[in-house]
Homo-oligomer: A and B are copies of this chain.
Amino acid sequence: MNNMTNGVFKHETTGTLMKEGFIALQDTYTAENAISHLRKNVQGRTNIHYLYILNSDSQLIGVLSIRELLGASDDEWITNIMETDIISFPTDLDQEEAAKVFRDKDLVSIPVVNRANQLIGVIHVEEILDVIQQEADEDIRKLSASGKEIDFRTNPFVAAWRRLPWLVLLLFIGLISGGIIERFEATLEAVVALAFFMPMIAGMTGNTGTQSLAVVVRGLVSEDITFNKSMKLLFRELIVGIIIGITCAIVIAIIAFVWRGSLTLGLVVGSSLLATLIIGTLAGTVIPLLLYKFKVDPAVASGPLITTINDILSLLIYFGIATIFISKLM
């Protein structure tokens, strides 16, 4: 067994998750010997689902479940009944990746080996339950830009302090929308009714973006994304954006026409919504995929950030289209 403490391993990796206290056997045992060894050494261990079989260099060469061992006849060599196609972890694997393996393989314990393939620890599924929970919490926190962990017991000053940096950043980004509207002040002064549809268009763009983002961020938890998969996903979301865009555009064009009695206004609002919903969907997909590609946690592309970026894009498109048709709107 290795005498390094878990403290030397990187945070949130297999090295810090693993526990010692496993039972390892040399490869010279029979089933009967192994059971009797187990019966003498089992006291005080907490998790004994597998025995680990080592060669004379302490390298892990096989794994034997207690179930298989108990089912074997007494004089069977453990090397004959052990599983040699071993699933093991290095010490520096991210805990989220480790959780994926546990989920895929339905195992209750997975051994951790050093570079020389020597067994130095075992990760038990109980730890992984907490990892999955914790990673999901992290994703949700980032999606909602809540900053570092805040739970029911966090005191209000700490909670406010953790949430403020994001909010102040979003405040400044939000002012960009103000700058855009200022550029179109003349258009807005000429047709104040344009302001009525501003929150709805910006909001809807943010909503579709958040939906796409959620699909991508959670998808990344359970699978690895190749370039091909990204392109397929992007194409899929483009189609989704077009379908959603056309549907919502028709609805809003009719409403705008009925409400304000102007066909041009209906067409301006409808076509703006079509364009912004397609862009919102694509932004909600492309941004997290790019961050993933550049090894930034895609959940950092938080819901509020995407929403705020989409706000800005949607206002540009909306007032841009309105300005083109300004003479017909007045």
Contact = CB atoms under 8 A, between A and B. Distances in A.
Contact of A222 (B133, B175, B239): B133
Interface string A38-68: 1100110111110000000000000000110
Contacts of A156: 236-237, 239-240, 243
Contact of A67 (B48, B154, B215): B48
Given A66-B66, A133-B136, A251-B171, A164 B244 contact: yes
A130 interface: yes
A174 B203 contact: yes
B137 A140 contact: no
A151 B46 CA distance: 38
Contact of A199 (B146, B154, B174, B214): B174
Interface in A230-280: 232-233, 236-237, 239-240, 243-244, 247-248, 251-252, 255
Contact of A211 (B70, B133, B144, B188): B144
A62 B126 CA distance: 22
**Interface size bracket, A side:** 35 or more
Copies held by the complex: 2
Contact of A244 (B140, B167, B174): B167
A248 B168 contact: yes
Contacts of A152: 215, 219, 223, 229, 232-233, 236
B178 A240 contact: no
Nearest to A304: B207
A307 B202 CA distance: 11
Interface in A123-148: 125-126, 128-130, 132-133, 136-137, 139-141, 143-146
A75 interface: no
10 contacts: A42-B67, A140-B217, A167-B211, A168-B248, A175-B255, A181-B195, A188-B192, A189-B189, A199-B315, A202-B202
Interface of A: 35, 38-39, 42-43, 45-49, 66-67, 70-71, 99, 102-103, 106-108, 125-126, 128-130, 132-133, 136-137, 139-141, 143-146, 150-152, 154-157, 159-160, 163-164, 166-168, 170-171, 174-175, 177-179, 181-182, 185, 188-189, 192-193, 195-200, 202-204, 206-208, 210-211, 213-215, 217-219, 221-223, 229, 232-233, 236-237, 239-240, 243-244, 247-248, 251-252, 255, 303-304, 307-308, 311, 315
